[in-house]
Amino acid sequence: MKALALAPRGFVFRDVLHLNRLSARVRVEWRTRDVHPWDQNVPPGRRSELFRDQAMRDTDAAILRLFDVLPDIDAIDVRVLEPHPPNRLILAGTVAREDAVAAQALASPRMRLAMMGVRCRTNDGRLEPLESTDVTRNESGKLRARSTAP
């Protein structure tokens, strides 16, 4: 790494800085997709379920793709917003690469997201906005969103 390639001091053999560890982190925020146009006329309860499921599948897939295309990234801060104004926060968390890999064995996208550290708030099957008090940083600085679902 060129940033650590300092000029050695005179007459000292191997007088250089040695990189022990390098960590990279990305913060990503996007608006989720709304339900498919074909499903716009389904009953509101079913539409909410379809939206919740689609948002979770999309988030799960996006996280895995981000780690695939960014192999040097160790962690991703994820913030997913509603598709329409006021675009409130509905999913959030910090995902470590090793957590994403470990969660792939789980069948449910919702459970995979929970195991990765992505949290949401639901009420009667609907995704609810996360309040600012629901999203905090833990002692290691990872973004954590408290789940208020039962």
pLDDT digits (tens, 9 = 90+) for 77-106: 999 999 999 999 999 999 999 999 999 999
Inform me whether the pLDDT recorded for 48 exceeds 90: yes
pLDDT, tens digit, 9 for 90 and up, residues 116-144: 999 999 998 899 999 865 555 555 555 55
On whether residue 89 sits in a domain, the answer given is yes
On whether residue 2 sits in a domain, the answer given is no
On whether residue 5 sits in a domain, the answer given is no
Q: Which helix (H) or strand (E) holds 31?
A: strand 25-31
* pTM flag (> 0.75): yes
Q: Chain-wide mean pLDDT for the chain?
A: 86
Domain with 138, as residue range(s), is: 21-145
Partners of residue 78 on adjacent β-strands: 28, 93
Total number of domains in the chain: 1
Q: What is the mean predicted confidence (pLDDT) over 50-74?
A: 95
Find the angle CA(47)-CA(48)-CA(52) to the nearest 5 degrees.
120
Q: What is the mean predicted confidence (pLDDT) over 13-23?
A: 80
On whether residue 105 sits in a domain, the answer given is yes
On whether residue 12 sits in a domain, the answer given is no
On whether residue 123 sits in a domain, the answer given is yes
On whether residue 13 sits in a domain, the answer given is no
pLDDT recorded at residue 149:
43
pLDDT recorded at residue 15:
77
